[in-house]
Amino acid sequence: MVILIVCLAALALTLVVGSIVTRSITRPMYELIRATTQVAAGNLEHRAAVESKDEIGHLARSFNQMTSVLSERTQRLEKLTDETLVTMAAAIDARDPYTHGHSMRVSLYADALAAQYGLSRAARDALRRGCMVHDVGKIGVPDSILRKAGPLDDREWSEMRQHPVTGHRLVSGLPWDRMVLDIVLHHHERWDGNGYPAGLAGE
């Protein structure tokens, strides 16, 4: 009888210890998996909260270090992208003396409105960048049309109305947010359907 009790006690102790050991392994693993999911979704500020000093803790620290490097490089890349867009916008506006600084002003106004409406930082960045390059298609419009002092004739107006399509074709191969491409293509559409190039209405 005593032997049976001792065996049962030993079994119970083994189960308790096993459960504790299992939890000490699985909890950090679940936290690391959760952190990986967050980073994969684009949240480069998230860090794995694993404090253990074993192999899992070492893996978590390496993961956090990698995420920090990714975050820093992404920020540098975004800064470079913005600087490139400013230069591109200035080059576009320089071709048309009537719209000097237009792209930058549109970008600033759009960002201010987006902030008032509570758009996310990512959406505001995409909106701002789209506005910076919305007239990039004017690169394909001849100076004789862009700089014409008087009204455009039908042929010239038809050519001018193609600049959103030209711009969309120029930027569609770049790894930009869909909003940027939509702004370039649709920035002359109107609610009443009288815009161009597609005559979209109520969208």
Of residues 57 and 134, more confidently modeled? 134
Question: What contacts 193, CB < 8 A, 6 or more positions away?
Answer: 199, 200, 201, 202
The CATH classification of domain 1-78, taken from the options 3.30.70.360, 2.40.40.20, 1.10.8.500, 3.90.1150.10: 1.10.8.500
Residues annotated catalytic, as ranges:
138
Domain edges within the chain: 1-78, 96-203
- pTM of the predicted protein model: 0.68
Q: Which CATH superfamily is domain 96-203 in?
A: Hypothetical protein af1432 (1.10.3210.10)
Q: 17 pLDDT exceeds 50?
A: no
Query: Where is pLDDT greater, at 21 or 194?
Result: 194
Segment 108-123 mean pLDDT: 94
**Residue 199 above 80 pLDDT?**
yes
| Interacting residues of 167 by C-beta distance below 8 A, sequence separation 6+ | 133, 134, 135, 136, 137, 138, 139, 184, 185
Provide the H-helix boundaries in the chain. 2-40, 55-95, 102-116, 121-132, 143-146, 154-160, 163-171, 178-186
Confidence of residue 43 (pLDDT cuts 50, 70, 90): confident
Segment 123-132 mean pLDDT = 92
